Chain A
Amino acid sequence: MTKKNSSAIQRRLIPTYIFLIIVSFISVFPLYWMVSAATNRSVDVARGKITFGTYMVTNFQNLTAQTDLWGALGNSFLYALVQTLVSLLVCSLAGFGFELYHDKWKDKVFSILLLAMMIPQVATMIPLFKMISSVGLLNTVWAFILPSISTPFLIMMFRQNSRNFPVDIMEAARLDGLSEFQIYFRMYMPVMKSTYAAAAVITFMNAWNSYLWPKVVMADTRAQTMPMLIANLASGYTVDYGVLMMGVLFCSVPTMIIFFVLQKQFAEGITGSVK
C-alpha cells in the first residue's frame, strides 16, 4: 500500500474518528469528573467544579482517618480473588464436561441450568440467607462467594469456547494413557487460557462490585468490602463529596487495572479464539 493511498484511507476515516472521539469523550468524561472531584473540597464538588483542586491529600487523609480503607481493599481483593479462582475452576470444568463429553442428557441438564440465569436476586435472598445461616457460614468468605461460584453465564461461555477445542488431541492423549482429569489440567487449561482471562475479568468485576448480598451476610465490620465502604461514605445526613470520590477512585481503579492488563486476552477470550 502506498503512502498516498494510506493517507486517502485516513481521510475517508475522518468521520469515523470524529464519531469515536465523541463517544470516547462521553464515556470518559464522568470518570474524569470522578478523578477531579477527588481533588476538590466537598462544597466545590457540589457546586459542579470540574477542574482539579488542591484537596487531594486532605481528602485522602480524611478517608484513611474515617474508614479502614486498607482493610476494605484487602477484603475486597481476598473475596474477589477467591471467588474468581473457585468459580473459574468449577465453571470451566462444567463447560469442558458439557461440550466435550456431550450427549442428549447432558444437553438437557445444560438447558435447565441456563434457566437459573433468569432468577431475580431479590427472590432468593431470604431462602439463601436461611441456608447460609443454618450451616453456620455467616460472616465467612464462603457466605460471600458460595451463591455466585457457579453461574450459567460462565458455564455457557466455557462451553461455547470449547467448541474450538481440537478433539483429535484428546484422542491422542488418551492413547498416550492420560486420564480424563489429566487431559483437563494439562491440555484444556493451557489451550483455553484466553477464555480463562475473559472469565476472570468478568467474575472479578462482578465479585468486586457486588453489594446487596454481601451486605446481608457480612455484618461484621472487619469483613467490610469497598462498595460497602463507599456506601457508608455516600449516605448519612452530611456527605463529604471530596472524600467520597477519593473512596470511589480507590474502588474503581483495581477493576480498571485488571481490565487494562488483561484486555487483549479478554477480547480474544470472549468469543473463544483458541491459541
Chain B
Amino acid sequence: MKKKLVSLLLVGVLAMSAFIACGKTDDSAEAPADAESEDSAAAMYTSDDENTLTVAAWDANFNIPALKAAGEAFKKENPDFNLEIIEQSQSEDIENAVTTAAEAKDYSNLPDIVLFQDHYFQQYVTNYPDAWQDVDDADIDWSDFGEEKLSFSTIDGTHYGLPVDNGTVIFAYRVDLLDECGYTLDDVTGITWDKFIEIGEQVYNKTGKYLLSMDGSGNDLPYMMLQAEGQSQFKDGKAVLADNDTLVQILEVIEEMQQKNVLLLENDWDGYTNDIQKDMVAGVMNGNWIIPTIEQVTENSGKWEITSMPTLSGEEGYASNGGSSLYITANCKKTDLAKEFLAYTFGGGEGSIETYDNALRDGGVITTCISAGQSDVYQEGVAYFNDQAIYAKIVEMGSHVKVVEQSDYHYTVRENISAAITNIHNGTPVADALQQAQEEVDFAMED
C-alpha cells in the first residue's frame, strides 16, 4: 500500500511549495482583489437605488422593530427613502462578516450600516480602521446621550456610532412573592448582597423559586456586579483578576448564593431564558432587553416591578450590559444620506421621538438619548409591571451608570471568569481559580 507514503510525501511537498509561494510577495496577490472591489458586484448587498440604505442587524423581537420604526419615521420626511433590513441570527454574524471582508480587503459584501456589539467595536476599529466611516460631522448633539454608552462608540474623540438600545441593568422582582415573605420592593432596593442572600433564602424556602438566575456560560453576572461597584476587570490595558479584591468578594458572594439556593446558574442562554419562562425564578437581573422574555409568561402580568441592583456596600447599584450601536461601513457610498438618516432618527433629530416611541412599543427598545426618553410614552405605566413607569425608571437609572475601563479582551475575561465560577463551585479555592483565570487571560492577550 503506497498511499500512506504518498500522503506523507505530500505534506512535505505542500510545505515546500508554501515556502516557494512565500518568496513571491504576498501583497501582489491582494492588489487585484482591492481594485476589483471598487466597481464589482457591490450592488448585491448595498443597493443601487440612491434612496435605499441597507442595514444588517439581529434579533427580530428587539433591534429589528427599532430599525423599522426609524425607517418609517425617516420616510415621512423623505417619501422616496427605503430602509432594507438584513436580518442576521446573532451579533457574531456581523462581526464575522466584517472580519472576512476586512481580511480580504473587499468590503463589497457589507451593507451600508451595521448594528455592532458595543464591547467589540473598539478592537474592530483598531484592527480594521478602513472598514468604517466616522459620523463626527453628522448633525447630532452628543451631549444628549449617556456618557457610558458613548464611551464604546467613541475612539480617540472621534464618534463612529449611533447608540440604539440601552443596556441598563434592571433588577425585576416578583413583588407578589416578596410580599408573601413579608418584603416590599423598598426592602430590596439599595441593599447589600448579604442582605439579598438573607431575603433570597427565605424566598426559596417559602416559594421554591430562586431570587436570581443567570446564564453561567456567557457570565454577565460578575461583570454587572463589578460595574455596579464602579470597578473593571482591567486596569491600564491589563487584566486584573487575581489581585482584584472586589472581584474576589463578588465570586465569594456568587458561590454563597449558589449554595444557599438564591442563585440558579444555568448552563447556557437557552436554559436561562427557559427558567424564566418556566416560572422558576422570583427575580431577574439583566440588561433591560430581558424584559420581553419576562413578559412571555402572560399569567404573571402585574406581579413584577423593577429596581436597581444590590451592591457590596449597600448603595444602589447601576450597571449596563450588552448594548449595541449603529455604524456606517466603508462600503456605504451614500454616506450623507446615512448620516442624515441616523441623525434624524436615532440621533435625537426631529424623527427621534417617533423612532424611539415606536421602538419601545414594538420591540421594548429603550433609548439612551436623554431628550427622547422624556416623551410621554416613557412616562406611561406598564401593566405587566404593576403599572410602574419602568421605562422612565430605566432611562433614569441609565444616567447613573459609571464608566469603567473596557478592553478588546472583554469576552475572553468573561469566559475565564465563568470557568473560575465553575471551578470554585467544584471546590477550587477562590484565589487559585482566579489565578488560573489570570494566567489564561494573560496568555490570550499575548500576540
Which one of A115, A139, A232 lies within 8 Å of B109 (CB-CB)? A139
A239 to chain B, nearest CB (A): 7
Contact sample, A vs B, 14 pairs, CB 8 Å cutoff:
A43-B296, A46-B277, A108-B6, A112-B10, A133-B33, A133-B101, A136-B41, A138-B109, A219-B110, A220-B45, A235-B59, A237-B62, A237-B293, A238-B296
Which residues of B from 77 to 103 have beta carbons under 8 Å from A?
84-90, 93, 96-97, 100-101, 103
CB distance from B359 to the nearest CB of A (A): 14
| Residues of B with C-beta under 8 A to A136 | 36, 40-41
For A219, list chain B residues within 8 Å (CB). Answer: 44-45, 56, 86, 97, 109-111
Chain A interface residues toward B at CB < 8 A: 42-43, 46-47, 66, 108, 111-112, 114-115, 125-126, 129-130, 133-140, 215-217, 219-221, 228, 231-239
Chain B residues with CB under 8 Å of chain A are 2-3, 6-7, 10-11, 30, 32-33, 36-37, 40-41, 44-45, 56, 58-62, 84-90, 93, 96-97, 100-101, 103-104, 106, 108-111, 270, 273-274, 277-278, 289-290, 292-293, 296-297
| CB <8 Å contact, B292 and A238 | yes
A215 and B104 within 8 A (CB)? no
Candidates B2, B56, B111, B289; contact of A237 at CB < 8 Å: B289
Contact status B273-A115, CB under 8 Å: no
Q: Could you tell me if B45 and A134 are in contact, using CB atoms closer than 8 angstroms? A: no
Report A-chain residues with C-beta under 8 Å of the C-beta of B273: 46, 237-239
The distance in angstroms between the C-alpha atoms of A137 and B109, with both chains bound, is: 10
> Complex Cα distance A217/B110, Å?
11
B277 CB contacts on chain A under 8 angstroms: 42-43, 46-47
Q: How far is the CB of B130 from chain A (nearest CB, A)?
A: 15
Q: Which of B44, B85, B93, B293 contacts A138 (CB 8 A)?
A: B44
A228 near B89 with CB under 8 A, answer yes
Alpha-carbon separation in the docked complex, A235 to B218 (Å): 14
Q: Is the CB of B7 within 8 A of A115?
A: yes
A139 contacts B41, CB within 8 Å?
Answer: yes
Nearest neighbor of A104 in chain B, beta-carbon distance: B2
Q: A111-B3, A236-B58, A236-B60 are in contact. Are A221 and B33 (CB under 8 A)?
A: no
Docked CA distance A28–B93 (Å): 32
Contacts of A135 in B (CB 8 A): 36
- B60 close to A66 (CB less than 8 A): yes
The list of the 5 closest CB pairs from A to B, nearest first, reads A134-B33, A231-B89, A236-B59, A139-B44, A133-B106
Q: Point out which of A47, A219, A228, A235 has the most chain B C-beta atoms below 10 A from its C-beta.
A: A219
Cβ 8 A contact of A46, one of B41, B90, B274, B292:
B274
Q: Are B44 and A220 in contact, CB atoms less than 8 angstroms apart?
A: yes
Question: B32–A221 contact, CB under 8 A?
Answer: no
Is B37 in contact with A236, judged by CB distance below 8 angstroms?
A: no
Residue among A111, A140, A236 having the largest count of chain B Cβ atoms under 10 Å: A236
Cβ contact within 8 Å between A235 and B89: yes
Chain B neighbourhood of A115, CB < 8 A: 7, 10-11
Identify which of A114, A115, A138, A220 gathers the most chain B CB atoms within 10 Å of its CB: A138
CA A108 to CA B86, docked complex, whole Å: 47
CA A184 – CA B423 in complex, angstroms?
63
CB distance B62 to A221 under 8 Å? no
**Cα-based distance from A42 to B273 in the complex (angstroms):** 11
B residues in contact with A235, CB < 8 Å: 58-59, 89-90
Q: Given A215-B93, A215-B96, A236-B58, A139 and B278 touching (CB < 8 A)? A: no
Q: Contact check: which of A126, A133, A139, A238 meets B293 at CB < 8 Å?
A: A238
Q: How far is the CA of A46 from the CA of B6 in the complex (A)?
A: 53
